[in-house]
Amino acid sequence: MAITNNITRLLDSRKIAYTAFELPAEKLGALESAALLGVDPAVVFKTIVVTREKAGKAILAVVPGTGEVDLKRLAEALGEKKLHLPTEKEAEKLTGLQAGGISPLALLNKGFQVIIHKTCQQHEWIHISGGQRGLNIRLAPASLIALTNARVADICRGEE
């Protein structure tokens, strides 16, 4: 039986097309998840928590598994002077979610700004974390952008 959580209930209530995939409950990276799912790592997006130098809510940078967030490009896209990558423990404390299960959909209405790398728009669907370890969600990028009120920008290096 597929895992049901607040994210799957939200997607169901909004009648948004998605597919949920159950994966091992340990912390998996985007590349490991892609291998288990049998998909191109470029369509498995990871959520990276980024903090601002000055006060303000953390940012969720959603980037393809084949790349990594470029803090300089992200800062430019947001008009910020300097951004930082928190430790895994700090990211978990900021979001209330375990690393490997951090998802922009699990943090809706929590004040996080969501920025998604522009390559998401090249794909019919992408995979993201389902808000807990062991749950992966495949959905259309446009659905993710609309739900999270995300901005799309070139915020990644090493992608494709």
- Domain membership flag for residue 1: no
Mind listing the pLDDT tens digit for each residue in 60-82? 999 999 999 999 999 999 999 99
Tokens of 117: 């790398």
pLDDT classification of 160: cutoffs 50, 70, 90: very low
Strands 59-64 and 113-117: parallel
End-to-end CA distance of the chain: 34
| Domain limits for position 86 | 6-157
Mind listing the pLDDT tens digit for each residue in 107-147? 998 999 999 999 999 999 999 999 999 999 999 999 999 99
CA nearest neighbour of 83 among 98, 116, 61? 61
- Residue 92 belongs to domain with CATH number: 3.90.960.10
pLDDT of residue 159: 54
- Domain membership flag for residue 116: yes
Number of domains in the chain: 1
Q: How much is the mean pLDDT over the chain?
A: 92
- Name, in order, each residue with C-beta under 8 angstroms of 102's C-beta and a sequence gap of 6 or more: 47, 49, 60, 91, 92, 95, 129, 131
pLDDT of residue 54: 81
